[in-house]
A and B are shown apart, each in its own frame.
Chain A
Amino acid sequence: MSADEQCVAVIPLQCADASFKAQQVVAVAGSGLAVTFEEIYTRFRRPVWALAKRLTQSDEEALDACQEIFLRIWRGLDGFRNEAKLSTWVFQIAWNFLRSYRRSRGRQPFSIESLDDDKVVSIGAVRDRAPDAERRVIASEGLNWVGQALGRLAEHHRIVLWLRDGEDLSYEDIAAVLDVPIGTVRSRLARARRALRNEVRP
């Protein structure tokens, strides 16, 4: 038994966020181990929060959304089928809710004014301080810069990019979450990466 497998078998869903893969969650489901809400919350509080934050671009709205998403997860626990990947199921719930949440709020396209004050980085200032692309990306200002650039992307680009590069979901998992063919994920991801690159360029 590998270290990862042992981790899944003994303390499922409590592995470190960064190392916990969707495939391991399948092993949990396949093993017949019960998945409790507490375990799900422990595992997914950060990813769900991060997704909500990226899509709402507001701490307050992200908090509201997370509360509802976890309520839906709690309600749906009995309906969760073990053959489904837990991560896919959770992200599906989160995405479906966030999509309707944004529509219900008549969300307008991204505007930089909607960002929190402490997260706003002056475009001019960043450009002055970061004369090359690498510095923009690596420095902390660069992370903010990339985050803001991500926020300016179309929602269908933002979500696919976040699930793939932010949360390391596979093409198959993203296709399941978004309910689109894998080919669509593939092409949309390429366009999203291209769009993001254009956004961060001076």
Chain B
Amino acid sequence: MKAKYSDFFQTILDSVADGIFTVDKNRRITSFNRAAQRITGFAREEAIGKPCYEVFHASICQNACALEEALKTGNEVIDRPLNIINKEGKAVPISVSASVLSDGKGNVRGGVETFRDLSAIEELKKEIQKRYTFEDIVSKNREIQKIFNMLPDVAESDSTVLIEGPSGSGKELFARAIHNLSARKEKPYVVVNCGALPDNLIESELFGYVKGAFTDAHRDKQGRFALAEGGTIFLDEIGDISPLFQVKLLRILQEKEYEPLGSTKTMKADVRIMAATNRNLAEQVRSGKFRQDLYYRFNIVRIELPPLARRREDIPLLIEHFISVFNLKRNKKITGVSDNVMDFLMRYSFPGNIRELENIIEHAFVLCHESVIEIKHLPSEIIEAFTGMRPLPKDDVSPLNVAEKTAIEETLKKHSGMRAAAARDLGISTVTLWRKMKKFQIEFSSELIPRGLPRGKRANDKR
């Protein structure tokens, strides 16, 4: 009877979307529902019997445990925001509520905690408020790790920072991370895209103007430097500014002083300046397009971001990151990419860098209705650019193509997915076979290999 009730309650708990667990008086877990397993990554069997702090690793476990507070005060704790570290080592934002569990006589038996995964909300908030930290930069590349290592010093220093790197390599993310790590983090962070502003606008945009400075200047307007007062200004695409404006910028970098357009009053700017460019500024100086003295003012702390092609080891990490972000944003449950996609992306040159990889994954998310992203979900332009071949259109069902595809599939099956042996059998080279497999979107390996046979011992493969 007792076991029946236990199953009954477990079913109820498992049907709830929020994580729920109960603990005894020693904070050992006594029940753990399905949502709790999903959020923490721990299976019920692993969690039960363990102290809750060993499973949750919450930021409050040590000194502000919600359950301990509920047990001590007898009052409920409601919706306390915190983060836990899940089984994969990822920080997960949650909100928890905790209450005491008592028996009928009022004796405390333990506690119950419910928690809600806030990852999706936090991700959206982060995107809207642009409150990225260095923890949002995903990399295990040595060059990037070197930059991480110097970030605290860079953030503390208040010196001008120049970030160089190709388009889409994450220059702004680094600039934000430095700002958010610095003493100015509570103050404004203002971004100016210098490349997007025409010469006659950039001065009034940056320094502001006073009433009457020009026709239609009906009232004073603050410039971006004034808006960034006490904080940081990020001048993006600094390599694109005109020689005339370079002179004006020189003064603010040197003296931290400027005059709004039409004003005679000199303003003092307490602003940290960071700049970024996808051009090689040293090269620009040599060719006379960028002032040398301005370059030296910017080049106090220089950070050079490598293109994605030079940090290929980060591609799997970034794919995983973008998949988890898009799963949250689009409420999907895509688990990863197929081996073929991974192989393709590891070899692709990524002229658009990380932004391009993000776009590729986003494109795949639109088309993919399964759990794994396949080659057919990738944008056809990049496959074409890479292989020099368009993927087979969906309506291309000519008998010849069908026959060719079937012959390849059958031969691959016969040779347990071994391409070399299949190519020999078909009388074509392995490269031709590979190209045809791409054309017909044949995904060999596990699907075509009969189960239960070890790869090395499959029939007819003499390789």
* A and B found bound together: no
